[in-house]
Structure 1
Amino acid sequence: MIRSELVLRLAAMNPHLYEKDCQAVVDAILACISDALAAGDRVEIRGFGSFTVKEQRARQGRNPRTGARVEVPAKAALAFKAGKEMRDRVNPEVALR
């Protein structure tokens, strides 16, 4: 699902709202999540999952074409861990055990 599909589904579920209002809601939520992650905060949405920013240290890599050593700089990576309810919805047969 892409952002525009999410907006359309949200508008369909809430016929009393205009599509442009649904677009503004989706944009506001995603902007808040993005701002929090950019600030290094953890974002947890109960029943869905949590987003965290993990620091990856600098390392030496190799160019796959030439085999030459390449310095890979330190960087921040986004990590997502699904919540229990989401894992159970995705794998219902596992939840029954």
Structure 2
Amino acid sequence: MTKADIVAGIAEETGLERAEVLKTVEAFMTSVKGSLAKGENVYLRGFGSFIVKERAEKTGRNISKNTTIIIPAHNIPAFKPSKTFVEEVKNKVSVK
């Protein structure tokens, strides 16, 4: 599913124009990215949490040059689904 599919689905379900729905979806994504960039987590009850995870410094290998490199500590965005979200997906999705 793409952003265009999401916008089309919301527009059809709510009766709003696609342009307005697109602005809303873009504003939501901008807000989430901005909060995560500031180090603030975003909690959406019944859906999940957008969180900032801290990765520790570690040693890596550059295989092509056969050298060791230090990968500095850094933060990455992550999504953790709520328990109700996980249960709903488990019960409705069949594995083929």
Q: TM-score range by the shorter chain?
A: 0.7 to 0.9
Measure the CA separation in 1 of the matches of 2:60 and 2:39.
26
Q: State how 1:11-50 maps to structure 2 within 5 Å.
A: 11-15=11-15, 17-50=16-49
Using the alignment, how far apart are the partners of 1:56 and 1:14 within structure 2? 40
Q: Normalized against structure 1, the TM-score is what?
A: 0.85
Q: CA deviation at 1:66?
A: 4.3
CA-atom RMSD, angstroms? 1.5
Partner SS for 2:76:
strand
- Output the CA distance in 2 between the equivalents of 1:92 and 1:19: 31
1:70 matches 2:72: no
Q: Gaps (5+ residues) in structure 2?
A: none
Equivalence for 1:8: 8
**Alpha-carbon deviation of 1:65?**
3.6
Secondary structure class of the residue paired with 2:80: strand
Cα distance, 1:71 vs structure 2: 1.4
How many residues get paired? 92
Query: Higher mean Cα deviation, 66-75 or 36-45?
Result: 66-75
Distance in 2 between the 1:22 and 1:73 partners? 40
Amino acid at match of 1:4: A
TM-score by length of 2: 0.86
* Aligned residue type for 1:30: M
Amino acid in the other structure paired with 2:90: N
Between the two proteins, what is the percent identity of the paired residues? 32
Give the Å deviation of 1:31.
1.0
Letter in 1 for 2:11: A
